[in-house]
Amino acid sequence: MDEISNEASPDGWSWFDSASSPPRVKTDVSSAFARCFSSDDGAVVMAHLRGVTVERALGADASVAMLRHLEGQRQLVGYMARMAKIGRGDE
């Protein structure tokens, strides 16, 4: 990976452009999700992730920060499941 220089460049943030990689095509990513979660082990992992996020209930004393954190986790698990569905051609 390229080293990031601490020196200022004349064109500002141009050094950042060289470090970024080109975006991947969504179908490649969704296919990778489908491959990851199509096996028996993948199904076990997805069930575990759903159990600790989607199916988890916090108590009445949960802070706003805890609720937001859990909701973010739920969103990520939902995203992963949806990408796997797209990769399988179910959507």
pLDDT in tens, 76-85: 999 999 999 9
pLDDT tens, position by position, 25-53:
556 899 999 999 999 999 999 999 999 99
Is the pTM above the cut of 0.95? no
Q: Which of 36, 48, 45, 25 is nearest to 85 (CA)?
A: 36
